[in-house]
């Protein structure tokens, strides 16, 4: 039931240490409203299909049972998602992160389900029923976490460092011929990264997800699953076939995936 984006957030940006923003670490009232609608829709679906043997109950009762539970699942899942996805290690391993969130939230959510079921249907408070809830709750939690992750994927962003801060760690990895160059973009090529600068390009052995974690201190974002681009490097925007492409100051073209296009547009990239 996790990942229902939108059940408890203030309006200010919630960013992990270092300023990188990750999926399921939610920002803004609009995000939370959308998440609440997702939770409500999921609850309505479970009510209409009579999930988990509830088909004999009247539909209105099923709706009143499932929708509050799904919203509660969104709250609990969000708490754990904020803890898990704020870790750069987990953020670069989304499958493991989603699994961790689902496993972590299952016990407390199972307790909520057990309590709500007993109150709603006036059933006996049998502890063994709490144990029985663990399996179904885990299944629904895993499903909602996965759905929410794919619905809410955002480009990983990096942010300019305050004056006087140490340079980004990634710059220490630049090959000798590129030392001191202005970094424009980083492109993944198999197990390597091609570093694009104002002095040319070169390859290093590194994963893009790890590189983005070390690029904090430069204003930029992931524009595609295999590209990170410095915002100041964008010279123009080309469009074609419904897609945008960033033209960098050195003439290199960096693709913008549809997954990240809306967020980048909202944040003023183009």
The CATH number fitting domain 169-266, selected from 2.40.50.1020, 2.60.40.10, 3.30.110.30, 3.40.718.10: 2.40.50.1020
Quick: pLDDT tens for 165-210.
889 999 999 999 999 999 999 999 988 999 999 999 999 999 998 9
Quick: pLDDT tens for 89-124.
776 677 888 899 999 999 999 999 999 999 998 878
Position 3 pLDDT exceeds 70: no
What is the Cβ-side half-sphere exposure of residue 79, based on CA atoms within 13 angstroms? 11
| 139 against 154, higher pLDDT | 139
| Domain residue extents for the chain | 29-151, 169-266
**First-last CA distance in the chain:** 35
Mean pLDDT value of segment 20-39 = 66
What share of the chain in percent tops pLDDT 90?
Answer: 51
Quick: pLDDT tens for 57-69.
999 999 999 999 9
3-state secondary structure of 118: helix
Please name the helix (run of DSSP H) or strand (run of DSSP E) that holds residue 224, with its range, or none: strand 220-224
Mean pLDDT value of segment 15-35 = 55
Please name the helix (run of DSSP H) or strand (run of DSSP E) that holds residue 242, with its range, or none: none
The values of phi and psi at residue 47, to 5°, are: -70, -45
């Amino acid at each position: 039931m996790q990942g229902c984006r939108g059940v408890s957030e203030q309006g200010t940006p919630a960013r992990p240490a270092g300023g990188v923003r990750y999926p399921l670490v939610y920002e803004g009232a609009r995000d939370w409203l959308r998440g609440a609608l997702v939770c409500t829709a999921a609850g309505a679906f479970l009510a209409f299909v009579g999930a988990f043997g509830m088909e004999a109950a009247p539909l209105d009762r099923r709706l009143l049972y499932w929708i509050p539970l799904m919203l509660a699942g969104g709250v609990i899942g969000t708490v754990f998602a904020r803890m898990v996805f704020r870790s750069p290690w987990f953020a670069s391993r989304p499958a493991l992160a989603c699994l961790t969130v689902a496993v972590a939230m299952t016990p407390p959510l199972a307790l909520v389900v057990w309590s709500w079921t007993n109150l709603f249907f006036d059933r006996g408070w049998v502890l063994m029923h709490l144990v029985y809830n663990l399996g179904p709750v885990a299944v629904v939690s895993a499903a909602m976490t996965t759905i929410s992750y794919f619905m809410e994927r955002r480009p990983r962003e990096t942010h300019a460092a305050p004056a006087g801060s140490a340079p980004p760690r990634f710059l220490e990895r630049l090959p000798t011929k590129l030392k001191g160059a202005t970094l424009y973009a980083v492109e993944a090529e198999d197990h390597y990264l091609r570093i694009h600068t104002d002095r040319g390009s070169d390859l290093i052995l590194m994963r893009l997800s790890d590189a983005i974690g070390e690029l904090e201190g430069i204003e930029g974002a992931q524009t595609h699953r295999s590209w990170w681009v410095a915002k100041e490097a964008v010279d123009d925007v080309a469009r074609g076939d419904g897609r945008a492409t960033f033209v960098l100051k050195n003439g290199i073209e960096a693709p913008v995936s549809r997954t990240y296009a809306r967020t980048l547009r909202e944040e003023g990239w183009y």
